[in-house]
Structures are given as C-alpha cells and as structure tokens.
Amino acid sequence: MHIQYSGKGGNTQRYVCRGTFGAMAVGNCIGFGGMRVDRAVAQEVLERLQPLGIRGGLAGNGGAHAAS
C-alpha cells in the first residue's frame, strides 16, 4: 500500500495499492480514503496503551509514596 496526499494543503490522505513496483507498474488495484482508517488505528493504539499508562502511573505514584 502507498499513501497519496491531495486536497488543499496536501493533508487529505488516500491509501492505494499500485500493483507491481517499478516503471512498468500496473494500474491501481484498490484505493480508499485514509481519514477513517487513521482514526480507527489511533483509537486502537490508545485503547491498548491506556491500561499500561494507568499501571505505570500507579507504579510511579507508589514508588514516590514508598520513598517518603
């Protein structure tokens, strides 16, 4: 997959499969807008990392308490 940017300011992304690499590449085999995909991936990353952040914060807080 490749990403193409277009639109005003070049900040609209689109994911495109261009087939074979190289000068003799075939036409696009699939393409779709990137905004929903990027939003969904970001949400998944945040959901997976949030418990780790809470545990890390609690461990850090507990360590500070133990030191005093």
Burial class of residue 15, CB neighbours in 10 A (0-12, 13-18, 19+): middle
Cα 27 from Cα 17, distance rounded (Å): 9
Interval 14-23: pLDDT, tens: 888 876 655 5
**The length of the chain, given as a count of residues:** 68
pLDDT score for 44: 92
Return d(Cα 42, Cα 36) in angstroms, integer.
10
pLDDT digits (tens, 9 = 90+) for 20-33: 655 555 666 788 88
Task: Give 10-residue mean pLDDT values along the chain (68 residues).
Answer: 85 81 63 89 88 72 52
Give the β-pairing of 12-17 and 2-6: antiparallel
